[in-house]
Amino acid sequence: MTRLWNDPADFADEMIDGFVAANGRHVRRVPGGVVRATMSPAGQVAVVIGGGSGHYPAFGGLVGPGLAHGAAMGNLFASPSTQQVYSVAKAAELGGGVFFSYGNYAGDVLNFDAAQERLRAEGIACETVTVTDDIFSATADEAHKRRGIAGDLTVFRIAAAAAESGADLAEVTRLARRANERTRSIGVAFTGCTLPGAEQPLFTVPEGRMAIGLGIHGEPGVDETDIPTADGLAELLVEKLLAEVPDGVQLAGARVVPILNGLGSLKYEEMFVVYRRIAQLLADAGLELVDPHVGEYCTSFDMAGTSLTLFWLDDELEALWQSPVDTPAYRRGAVAAHQRTDTSARSPISAGAAAPTTATATEAIEPGDEASRSAARTVLAALRTVVETVDAHVEELGRIDAIAGDGDHGIGMQRGSHAALAAATAAVDAGAGARTTLARAADAWADRAGGTSGALWGVILGAVAAKLGDQGRPEAAAVAAGVAAGSRAVTDYGKAEVGDKTLVDALVPFSATLTQAVDGGARLADAWRTAAHAATRAAQATADLLPRMGRARTHGQSSVGTPDPGAISLALIVTAVGELLAAPNQKESANG
């Protein structure tokens, strides 16, 4: 369990502030994360890593000479937002392009890819290699679907070493891809992890049992067994990894880096006992062990568990692996002294001071006309209803998500909706029209929530906002068109389809029913409520589906019988907004 926090909603920001205050020699704070506090050569490829917080030393602890140039740091177990990734990359970029690497999780892919496209549109070359080392999360013939766990370290380190050597972006990418192809990991856990302020862990393991193949975000294991002895655990881990040796590797004489990683609360002494047997088994298999690692490299908050990674070297990769590194949490060899960044060139954000990362936060607002300002007040009322709805169901949404995911859906929705309401309130107070009000809310939701749901709700609200305008009262047809545009954008952006057991399963029927009812002459309030009923039925029906997208995909059958949390949260929200639109004081707006 976790014991020390102030407001759980502020935990990640306060953690980053403290991390920067303690490690000012290595890192400095920028909106969205941290970058090196030391100078790097102009024209060097900038290696930018990242993901959710709660995995220290990944990701901020790996920023410094010889390793990453910057780390985008999201909320606990939630990917950084597009704006956070973009902000860190802009601060880290040196003129040689940006190389991104991170674990292969849906929210990270969505947000890093979106940031990458923004940078490319500005003329900054970018490439990405997602880490896919977890052998239990997909079969070998679908290795591209595997998630990244402690094998992140090998890919990050090879990419960074290549960049430090002067390699160009294409070469850095080639070597990182090769490192990923030659990295395999498997993890086990004896207890779940508990987020700050939560009363229960994200998942539990029965007393005396061990989960096998778990994810680093608290996703439950794929399999379960009795807790073995230390030697028995070593034998299980080694057996699984030696059963899948990378193509082209001959066991006899192969050189391999073993990394025994603690997931948060397993004692080092226990890991040394396990590693003793791992080393014996690998040597007996004819392997030559290079630079063994035993420690914490990618944790899962306070989870009791461990993972074993094998990084299969060749001459090219080994030369890069031996390069020196100096970061807050990871050091190897001797790094030459680096000049500190000129303070006059720094971001105005001081170390230890968090900053808003939404680009529009300081932009002037062009007032809307009276009709649009009135509509903006309806938007604000709807967002207040959204917040109340999410707050009322946050624990249930988390419980549903924990069945086959990481259990943070309710928390993420809460963060996003509260940020959206705050941004919309400020916009309305400044005289904004409906479009600007909802657009500000969309940006704030995506930025504060992070993760997959944050990105998708930002897309939905942004699409609706674009159809509302800042002049005149929006017609019902415009609202329906905005929802339809949001539905199309979500399927284009997230690549999910109806039947994949995602938010899309509720969003598509909601949009289709709303459009049909409005086209048939129904008032917006009536059409919306009819559509909400369709969304609710569809969301409940996801209980019968096997997941084909997102983190739940790994757990397959275990999620059958439980509806998708994203679909359920959307259905709850549109139902509550429908009741608001039908209320007597909203009838005039709902007729529009």
Q: Cite the active site residues.
A: 217
Cα angle value 493/508/577 (rounded, 5°):
105
Quick one: CA torsion of 108, 110, 114, 120, rounded to 10 degrees? 70
Place of tokens 């704070």: 29
Q: Whole-angstrom Cα distance, residue 133 to residue 113? A: 20
Nearest to 25 by CA among 405, 472, 337: 337
Place of tokens 């229960």: 200
Q: Whole-angstrom Cα distance, residue 43 to residue 84? A: 23
Helix axes 565-582, 409-429, angle to 10 degrees: 40
Sign of the torsion angle spanned by Cα atoms 236, 239, 243, 247: positive
Helix axes 370-404, 434-449, angle to 10 degrees: 20
Nearest to 142 by CA among 464, 488, 548: 548
Q: In 3-state terms, what secondary structure has residue 186?
A: strand
CB 58 within 8 A of CB 51: yes
CB 560 within 8 A of CB 543: yes
Q: Tokens for 503?
A: 């938010």
Q: Whole-angstrom Cα distance, residue 340 to residue 26? A: 9
Sign of the torsion angle spanned by Cα atoms 306, 79, 3, 197: negative
* DSSP H stretches of helix in 430-475: 434-449, 451-468
Q: Tokens for 60?
A: 């901020």
Q: Tokens for 203?
A: 């998942």
Nearest to 150 by CA among 271, 329, 298: 298
If one counts every other C-beta atom within 10 angstroms of the C-beta of residue 507, the result is 27
Nearest to 129 by CA among 95, 69, 81, 178: 178
Q: Whole-angstrom Cα distance, residue 132 to residue 431? A: 48
